[in-house]
């Protein structure tokens, strides 16, 4: 099977980027931060599969984790449907989206979402980008996505919307370079999620478990809000103070309890 980005001959120690058909100048590949923690790799692979099983990711979308040995490196899969990702598909990147060693494999064109968020947010150690259908309505409407219940305390401080049209005019909607990634990260600011108008969402967290758990419950919260609003009554949303107290008490207990289940189901371990 051919890949969407033209396969290039592998040039050891250099990067010849061919994105959307544009041949870029060759530049030295970034150096590796070294072998990542095996537990990090295992959890990152599980994250791809969990999010597919939970219906948050389909054939598109991706997850990344900051490298445990270097704050300026992150790890994500080569261009591949999430449910198929294995440890062998993971590649190390710098903030500019340059791979340490892609081994000729195609890359996600939106890896700049990840790189620029890691650059802007030192507290973030994992990023999910997904197109969950129940979230798209909130990305295109004037009705804000709000926390309906305790599982969504992580959006108690709001969910900003990044409209790529505001800064970049008419585009192909993709965050496919560093400039667009930076603009997205700026709208994300200090929040945990940023909706992308007519596209999807980026969700961040201090651990892979948080980014995955937030992605799952953000999707549930969107469904709950849609259904609550359809009932036509007055709604009591989670108060920002309530949300903050839940975050202080340990947001959803670090997602440890569901993570054990999700991982067991996704990896058969």
Site for a second copy in 167-226 (CB under 8 A): 170-174, 197-200, 220, 223-224, 226
Q: Residue 66: which of 118, 108, 111 has the closest Cα?
A: 118
Residues in contact with 250: Cβ distance below 8 Å, sequence separation at least 6, in sequence order:
none
Closer CB to a second copy, 11 or 249, in the complex: 249
Using the rule CB under 8 A, which residue among 9, 250, 268, 269 binds a second copy?
A: 250
CA 110-99-30 angle, 5° bins: 130
Q: How far is the CB of 253 from a second copy (least distance, A)?
A: 4
Q: Are strands 90-94 and 126-130 parallel, antiparallel or unpaired?
A: unpaired
Structure tokens at 69: 């040995």
Closer CB to a second copy, 27 or 141, in the complex: 141
Residue 177 is classified by DSSP as S
Q: Given its phi and psi angles, is residue 244 left (phi above 0), alpha (psi -120 to 50 degrees) or beta?
A: alpha
Positions 39 through 98 that interact with a second copy (CB under 8 A): 58-60, 79-81, 83-84
Q: How far is the CB of 74 from a second copy (least distance, A)?
A: 20
Whole-angstrom distance, CA of residue 136 vs CA of residue 58: 14
Q: How far is the CB of 38 from a second copy (least distance, A)?
A: 15
Under a CB-based contact definition with an 8 Å cutoff, are residues 40 and 48 in contact? no
Residue labelled with tokens 């620029």 = 116
Closer CB to a second copy, 35 or 140, in the complex: 140
Q: How far is the CB of 231 from a second copy (least distance, A)?
A: 5
Using the rule CB under 8 A, which residue among 122, 230, 268, 269 binds a second copy?
A: 230
Closer CB to a second copy, 172 or 190, in the complex: 172
Using the rule CB under 8 A, which residue among 11, 24, 189, 261 binds a second copy?
A: 261
Closer CB to a second copy, 130 or 192, in the complex: 130
Does position 268 interact with a second copy (CB under 8 A)? The reply is: no
Using the rule CB under 8 A, which residue among 28, 233, 268, 269 binds a second copy?
A: 233
- Helix (H) or strand (E) run with residue 196 in it: strand 193-196
Positions 138 through 167 that interact with a second copy (CB under 8 A): 138-143, 147-151, 153, 163, 165
Whole-angstrom distance, CA of residue 93 vs CA of residue 119: 12
Q: Cβ of 265: how many Cβ atoms within 10 Å?
A: 14
Under a CB-based contact definition with an 8 Å cutoff, are residues 73 and 92 in contact? yes
Residue 159: beta bridge partners?
A: none
| Active-site annotation holder among 20, 83, 92, 110 | 110
Between the alpha carbon of residue 183 and those of residues 33, 71, 117, the distances in Å are: 27, 21, 10
Closer CB to a second copy, 29 or 161, in the complex: 161
Does position 113 interact with a second copy (CB under 8 A)? The reply is: no
Total residues interacting with a second copy, rule: CB under 8 A = 78
Whether 83 sits among the annotated catalytic residues: the reply is: no
Among all residues, which ones are annotated catalytic? 110
């Amino acid at each position: 099977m051919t890949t969407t980005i033209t396969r290039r001959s592998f040039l050891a120690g250099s990067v010849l980027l061919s994105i959307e058909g544009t041949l870029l100048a060759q530049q030295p590949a970034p150096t590796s931060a070294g072998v990542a923690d095996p537990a990090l790799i295992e959890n990152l692979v599980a994250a791809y599969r969990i999010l597919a099983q939970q219906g948050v990711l389909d054939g598109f979308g991706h997850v990344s984790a900051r490298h445990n040995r270097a704050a300026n490196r992150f790890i994500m899969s080569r261009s591949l449907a999430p449910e198929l990702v294995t440890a062998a598909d993971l590649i190390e990147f710098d903030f500019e989206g340059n791979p340490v060693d892609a081994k000729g494999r195609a890359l996600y064109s939106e890896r700049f979402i990840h790189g620029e968020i890691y650059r802007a947010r030192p507290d973030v150690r994992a990023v999910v980008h997904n197109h969950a259908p129940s979230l798209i309505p909130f990305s295109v409407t004037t009705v804000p996505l709000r926390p309906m219940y305790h599982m969504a305390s992580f959006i108690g401080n709001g969910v900003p919307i990044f409209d790529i049209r505001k800064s970049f005019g008419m585009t192909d909607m993709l965050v496919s370079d560093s400039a667009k990634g930076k603009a997205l990260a700026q709208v994300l600011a200090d929040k945990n999620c940023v909706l992308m108008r007519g596209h999807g969402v980026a969700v961040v967290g201090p651990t892979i478990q948080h980014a995955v758990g937030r992605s799952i419950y953000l999707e549930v919260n969107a469904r709950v809000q849609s259904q609550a609003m359809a009932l036509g009554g007055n709604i009591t949303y989670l108060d920002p103070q309530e949300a903050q107290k839940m975050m202080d008490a340990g947001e959803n207990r670090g997602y440890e309890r569901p993570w054990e289940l999700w991982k067991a189901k996704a990896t058969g371990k």
